[in-house]
Structure 1
Amino acid sequence: MEYLSGKKVCVLGLGLSGKSAVNLLLEKKAHVIAIDDFQDCLSPKEIEDYKERGVTFFIGSDVTFPVNRIDMAVVSPGVSREHSFVKELVARCIPLLGELELGWRELQCPCIAISGTNGKTTVTGWIVKMLRENGYQVTAAGNIGTPVCDVALKSGELSTLVLEVSSFQLESVDSFKPEIALLLNVAEDHLDRHGSIDNYLRIKARLFENQKEDDYAIIQWEILQKFKQMEISLPSKTLTFSDSEESANLYLKGNLIKSRMSGWPDTVLDLNRCNFRGSHNAANLMASLLAGRASGLPLEKMIQTSLEFQSGAHRCEFIAEWNGVKFYNDSKATNVHALLSALHSMPDNEGDRKNIWLIAGGQNKAFDFRTISQDTMRRVKSVYLLGEASAEMRSAWQSFVPCNLVGDMIEAVFKAGRCAVPGDVVLLSPACASFDMFDSYQHRGESYCVAVQQWLNTMKGV
């Protein structure tokens, strides 16, 4: 990327991705202008250190910057395309990149990219494990927590880089081209930013737009049909999976993963041998197996690795059991689709169809909670709602399930715990973002675990 040397490049947004972009640009001898609306985006020491390295700062929502002084801009994924400064950049035809695009241009190894509304982090971790156990030098980056720019300059040491990619990152790609790209699922999410489900789908489709015919697109069968309806074509080799449609290359039939591909047996795996629950995780596994096939991994070794897979923290994570009541943490469920997957995956209670005490709520992302029906809530005994969207959710659901407003996580856990009987499940699956009450979904899940422990201590008389 010698074209960066001596160029005036502004970085808009100084969170994790923005700082990573600044560091890479400095390595490439660009003149960096760092911009953020928030005064506390960096510590005074960080600002001083960057200034010593030649970075110019414009910080604060009331600060104006002469756009005609820059050659290109790098926009952090958290900065909306509706931001006034971004609009001005577009209007002046100034080249605009995301941190993902900037880092990818510096990569020195092939990459596998995973996107989708739900399951990205799980599948990223599973693919990394498969590759490592087959001798690959591999690491994960992207939306999973490590910015691409952090690993780009050292990527020559890797066999493959596995990237978790969000829709926010895909908004600002240009030449980004993963050799293997996976789109796991698409459900209503981030509509407060993307506007409509069709626009969201088109942004997700950008994952594949620069692929060549010898690359691989691994995509949920149902999304592929939707793309065809929208006249979105994929230029690469296509492999499909589905938890219901037998026309897919891999599909779920009962508890069996079945194959329609040459060289693989008709029955690939009995999920009763695995350590995870739910058809959504079966779909995650099928996508991971197809990525392994595209990478040339032997099926037998992938199956052996698959038997060790587990869902990660805050993803339908079993926390504790007391007197026959099980507590699950699904704080990563930040949309309605993820909530539905969690409800379907919870243990049944023989003899009583209703056995779930649901804790939900938080910050709405332009969801219509009325899409949750009486049938999808058929196993829920009662719902405890907290956060900004609690009243809206109660209004949408109270006609078919009891809904109770609570003030905090401890109150929700204690009330659900008191009501639960042996065979019941207390499930945190919010269907909302966490930022109204917590720093992140991880913070929310940790708060739930603390509340569960406090409840258990109370029951034990500790």
Structure 2
Amino acid sequence: VLTVEVSSFQLETIQTFHPSIALWLNFAPDHLDRYRSVAEYRAAKLRLFENQAPGDVAIVNAVESLPELRARKVTFSAYSNRADFRLAEGAIVFENKPVLRLNQTKLRGLHNIENLMATLAAGHARGLAFEKMVPPLCAYEPRPHRCEFVRQIGGVDYINDSKATNLDAVEKALLAQSKPVVLIAGGKDKGFTFEPLRKLVKEKVRATILIGEMAERIARDWDGAVKTELATSLADAVDRAHATAKSGEVVLFSPGTSSFDMFKSYADRGDQFRALVQALPQ
């Protein structure tokens, strides 16, 4: 059995690609430097299901509006009670029975709960028992660059979310925070606006430090919603965040776009952020 992540770029040219189980976690505008519209990007992503047959399984987010699929559909959602895998009383529930208690896992945030749901659904579709799947899921450690806690300095938490390369990822990271946020965002211009995050940023973020090609554009999108500063580099952004953040707040590095204007990759970007934070004085 092969488990693969397939990009829209790869799906553009498929002919015989036929997953027996296909997972659709979510959709958000992205790569508009490649596609002429959000609709064209979405159409490329939807080719994931193109060669599936009635004997296959499509695991999809219940809140997503998708076209009719030939495969048997299994739904999940941390936000809706009308899904096959749903959230109830601190547990992931399937067929009205709890299958995983959230306090047993090391993952936090509703987005990670949905990731767990999708994983359980895929295993169930393969015939695995929940009792076999739960222990490794509970032992799973969050990966680097995905809301990774770096350190606390003077009562301020520093979080590396460099993997956030689109708006949906930033939204999920912000929703997972319970403290006021100083947000470092920005990077390569992929052709989309940060305007959709304006309301959430106004609610959750006290100040923003912006970097990269999109810095000025993001500042315009969020003008009047939050205090913004433009940084000349990631090192400058970390220094500015360190000077701005107060005890009881979070410095969240969640760029919202790709890294290639300034870095080799999101991992290189996150590694540099981590090193800069580790070098800050107590």
TM-score range, shorter chain: over 0.9
Q: Does 1:400 align with 2:225?
A: yes
Give the conservation status (yes or no) of the 8 Å contact 2:186–2:255. Answer: yes
Q: For 2:183 and 2:131, how far apart are their aligned partners in 1? A: 39
Q: Which of 412, 421, 432 in structure 1 is aligned with 2:237?
A: 412
Query: Does structure 1 conserve the Cα–Cα contact (< 8 Å) formed by 2:210 and 2:219?
Result: yes
Q: Which amino acid aligns with 1:236?
A: A
Q: 1:161 to 1:278 in 2, by over 3 A?
A: same
| Letter matched to residue 163 of structure 1 | V
Q: What is the aligned partner in structure 1 of residue 196 from structure 2?
A: 371
Task: Give distance in 2, aligned partners of 1:253 and 1:377.
Answer: 29
Map Cα deviations across residues 305-335 of structure 1 (whole Å, 9 max, x no partner). 2111232111111111123211110011111
Match of 1:208 among 32, 49, 66: 49
Partner of 1:194: 35
- Is the 1:241–1:249 contact (alpha carbons within 8 Å) kept by the matching residues of 2? yes
Letter matched to residue 418 of structure 1:
A
Superposed, 1:13-412 pairs within 5 Å as: 160-223=1-64, 226-227=65-66, 232-253=67-88, 255-259=90-94, 261=95, 266-346=97-177, 348-349=178-179, 355-412=180-237
Q: CA deviation at 1:168?
A: 0.7
Secondary structure of the residue that 1:381 maps to in structure 2?
A: strand
Once residues 269 and 128 of structure 2 are traced to their aligned partners in structure 1, the CA distance between those partners, rounded to angstroms, is 37
Distance 1:185 1:453, change over 3 A: same
Q: Report Cα offsets for 1:14-70 as digits up to 9, x if no partner.
A: xxxxxxxxxxxxxxxxxxxxxxxxxxxxxxxxxxxxxxxxxxxxxxxxxxxxxxxxx
Q: Report the number of matched residues.
A: 282
Displacement of 1:201 in angstroms is 2.2
Listed as ranges, the gaps of 5+ residues in structure 2 are none
Letter aligned with residue 219 of structure 2: R
Q: Distance in 2 between matches of 1:381 and 1:408?
A: 21
- Residue 244 of structure 1, CA deviation: 1.0
More displaced 10-residue stretch of structure 1: 168-177 or 297-306 = 297-306
Q: Which amino acid in 2 is paired with 1:189? A: D
Q: SS state of the match for residue 247, structure 2?
A: coil
TM-score, scaled to structure 2: 0.95
Matched position secondary structure for 2:48:
coil
> Structure 1 residues 222, 198: closer, same or farther in 2, change over 3 A?
farther
Amino acid across the alignment from 1:214? G
Please state whether the residue corresponding to 2:76 is helix, strand or coil. Answer: strand
Alpha-carbon separation, structure 2, partners of 1:450 and 1:316: 16
- Contact 2:184/2:209 (<8 A) preserved: yes
Residue pair 1:314, 1:331 contacting (<8 A) in 2 also: yes
Structure 1: runs of 5 or more not aligned: 1-159, 350-354
The TM-score, its normalising length taken from structure 1, stands at 0.59
Identity of aligned residues (%): 41
Q: Please report how far the alpha carbon of residue 254 of structure 1 lies from its aligned counterpart in structure 2 after TM superposition.
A: 5.9
The structure with higher relative contact order (CA 8 Å, sep 6+) is 2
Residues 201 and 226, structure 2, Cα contact 8 Å, conserved in 1:
no
Structure-2 separation of matches of 1:167 and 1:377: 32
User: Are the structure 2 counterparts of residues 366 and 304 from structure 1 closer, same or farther at C-alpha, using a change threshold of 3 Å?
Assistant: same
1:244/1:253 contact within 8 Å kept: no
Partner of 1:454: 279
* In structure 2, C-alpha distance between the alignment counterparts of 1:195 and 1:277, rounded to whole Å: 35
Distance in 1, matches of 2:89 and 2:31, equals 32
**CA distance in structure 2 between the partners assigned to 1:198 and 1:245 by the alignment:** 25
